[in-house]
Amino acid sequence: MNILDKIAARKREEVAFLKEEVPAESLQLLPHFNRRCISLKENLKNSSTGIIAEFKRRSPSHPEINLEADAATVTAGYETAGASGISVLTDEEFFGGSLDDLAIARETVKLPLLRKDFMIDEYQIIEAKAMGADVILLIAAILKPDEIKTLSKKAKDLGLEVLLEVHNEEELKNAIFDTVDMIGVNNRNLKTFEVDLQTSKDLAEKIPNQFVKISESGISETSAITELQKSGFKGFLIGGNFMKTEDPGKSASEFIQKLK
Ligand SMILES: O=P(O)(O)OC[C@@H](O)[C@@H](O)c1c[nH]c2ccccc12
């Protein structure tokens, strides 16, 4: 079994358990559940830089990025740096994140927050909303087209935006629904961990222009962004390049200044 299938299988077990422990009805009583979301899509459209900075302690491909990182310090730094949005990894087992990190980020910044996780059930979307997220991620590689359709509709019904992640043309073709706001091309193959920015450049023209286009993973140079902008990308998801440094906010700030 590849790592992605393994994570998705674990996620199903985890969600089945959680649903019993904390029923969706009780999540809907939390204060953020009725909060009005902030649009990442609009922020990206209106930005000349479009950086979505990610809070990530570790990953299966990089087991020790920044294990002690503190969500409040890092997300505050990202906001000061001028990021357009912040992505918070909430998977615990494989990425060392938590919903608490998301809640802390929500208390700390005004920027739109993406809950970065492996969403396979509507329950997780209710959770995302209740913890203060503005955007959810749907990964085409682990979902059937009808699942993408129902999960994205659920998110829209709750006022959340939807970022759909694809890695190849096949996934893209089967995943185009008008309940999706943004399409992200992951330059990292989540099954093999190989990274190639050419993946974004190749897929760009195949993504209909109604979607804001985001290039994800493996970005460490501002020159790469200038190139990707020429292909039509408006958003750039960057994690490791910032998180691996002692002061991710400072590193994001220098990067964004250089890009301007
Ligand atoms: O750290 P990087 O190479 O800058 O990548 C960030 C982000 O794109 C990556 O964390 C990511 C993209 N899609 C995902 C899906 C699940 C978990 C993580 C991811």
The CATH number of the domain holding residue 131 is: 3.20.20.70
What residue owns the CA closest to ligand 1's atom 7? 217
Length of the chain: 260
Phi first, then psi, for residue 244 (nearest 5°) are -75, -10
The full DSSP string for 74-92 is: HHHHHHHHT-SEEEEE--S
27-56: pLDDT as tens digits:
999 999 999 999 999 999 999 999 999 999
Contact criterion met (CB below 8 Å) for 236 and 214: yes
Q: What is the pLDDT of residue 135?
A: 98
Residue 27 DSSP SS3: helix
Distance of alpha carbon 16 from alpha carbon 152, whole angstroms:
20
Residue 190's pLDDT band, with cuts at 50, 70 and 90, is: confident
- Residue 216 bears catalytic tag: yes
For residue 147, give the nearest of 8, 18, 6, 17 by alpha carbon. Answer: 8
- Residue 43 bears catalytic tag: no
**Cα torsion for 221, 185, 256, 227, to the nearest 10°?**
50
Distance of alpha carbon 14 from alpha carbon 21, whole angstroms:
11
Compute, in angstroms, the gap from residue 117 CA to the centroid of ligand 1: 10
- Residue 215 bears catalytic tag: no
Given the CA of residue 56, which atom of ligand 1 is nearest to it? Answer: 10
Q: Are strands 235-238 and 113-116 parallel, antiparallel or unpaired?
A: unpaired
Q: Give the residue-averaged pLDDT of 212-226.
A: 98
DSSP 33: G
Domain count, the chain: 1
Q: Which residues line ligand 1 (CB under 6 A)?
A: 54, 56, 116, 139, 165, 186, 216-219, 237-241
- Residue 165 bears catalytic tag: yes
- Residue 186 bears catalytic tag: yes
Selecting among 41, 43, 87, 116, the annotated active-site residue is 116
Whether the complex's predicted ipTM surpasses the cut of 0.90: yes
What residue owns the CA closest to ligand 1's atom 8? 217
- Residue 56 bears catalytic tag: yes
What is the CA angle 100-106-111, rounded to 5? 140
In Å, how far from its chain's centre is CA 104?
17
55-103: pLDDT as tens digits:
999 999 999 999 999 999 999 999 999 999 999 999 999 999 999 999 9
Compute, in angstroms, the gap from residue 216 CA to the centroid of ligand 1: 6
Its domain, for residue 69, covers: 3-259
- Asked if pLDDT for residue 151 goes beyond 90, the answer is yes
Compute, in angstroms, the gap from residue 92 CA to the centroid of ligand 1: 15
